[in-house]
Structure 1
Amino acid sequence: MIRKTMTVLALAASLGAAVGFGALPAFAQTAKATVDAGKAAGTVGEQADGFLAVVSGGDAAQRAAVVEINTGRAAVYKDTAAKTGVTAEAAGQATAKQLYARLAPGQYWKPLDGGWAKK
């Protein structure tokens, strides 16, 4: 189990590109820009499970962008799980650590067992 966990942690850095930091298709670039604006405005935040969520408010475009990006992230986590033998949840949580490290001060983060907090 430790070996699988280490494999997932090692993959987490490369997953960062797949869940929002690499080259994106044109349709996903719009969603990423919308989510980035939401993060800056404090209406969208990252969660410790590796998914985005609306913190509060947010318009229909932000909610749709969160769903679109989360759908892509879920596919990446599922693929990673199949390749490494860990759960998709473990892959998401490992990636969330990388995502948290990249949050700007003042952006929102939600731990697995808590409420929203500013970084």
Structure 2
Amino acid sequence: MSKTVFSRPVGLIGAMALALGGGSMALAQEGRDPAYAAARSAGQVGEQKDGYLGVIGGQSAAVQAMVRDLNNKRRAIYTEKAAGKSTIEEYAFATACRLISQTQPGEKYQAPDGTWKTRGAGAPERDARCP
């Protein structure tokens, strides 16, 4: 009998396998945007535990619009990559595991309890379901 994770049998495991290999190039394009890089290094945005980018504190309308645009692009990637293999949420969560682990010291990320953390020299706190 297969183990149920979220709402589908082994869906999260399949989503993690997909997230590790798919969509990486498209998400990597975010890092080439100077406005995104500046907001990230300034601690205005961070990786959320659900696979989307979050606005930290009260930021400008421009930062909020940029995050909204990037999250729309991420959702499109997650929808495409998850099709027939997992749910969008499972794929997004699996991607969050990878993106949070790839944060650099000084960058913000959302811990499993929902609080915003600043990455130190060690590994970031991640959900226990992350590989």
TM-score bracket relative to the smaller structure: 0.7 to 0.9
Which segments of 5 or more consecutive residues in structure 1 lack a partner in the other structure? Answer: none
Aligned residues: 110
Which segments of 5 or more consecutive residues in structure 2 lack a partner in the other structure? Answer: 1-8, 120-131
Q: Name the CA distance, whole Å, in 1 between partners of 2:104 and 2:80.
A: 28
Cα deviations by residue, 1:59-90 (Å, 9 ceiling, x for unpaired): 22211110110001111111222131x21111
Q: Name the CA distance, whole Å, in 2 between partners of 1:76 and 1:67.
A: 14
Q: Name the CA distance, whole Å, in 2 between partners of 1:58 and 1:81.
A: 31
Shift in Å, 1:7: 2.4
Cα deviations by residue, 1:2-24 (Å, 9 ceiling, x for unpaired): 2x333211211222222x214x7
1:18-57 mapped onto 2 (5 Å cutoff): 18=26, 20-22=27-29, 32-57=33-58
Instruction: Specify the alignment match of 2:64 in structure 1.
Output: 63
**C-alpha contact 1:44 1:53 (8 A) present in aligned 2:** yes
Bigger relative CO (Cα 8 Å, ≥ 6 apart): 1
Supply the AA of the counterpart residue of 2:53: L
Cα deviations by residue, 1:69-114 (Å, 9 ceiling, x for unpaired): 0001111111222131x21111000001111122111111113532
Supply the AA of the counterpart residue of 1:40: S
Instruction: Specify the alignment match of 2:24 in structure 1.
Output: 16
Higher helix share: 1
Instruction: Specify the alignment match of 1:98 in structure 2.
Output: 98
Identity of aligned residues (%): 34
TM-score norm. by structure 1 comes to 0.80
Q: Name the CA distance, whole Å, in 2 between partners of 1:83 and 1:111.
A: 29
* Bigger shift: residues 4-13 or 48-57: 4-13
RMSD between aligned residues: 2.0
Q: Name the CA distance, whole Å, in 2 between partners of 1:87 and 1:71.
A: 16
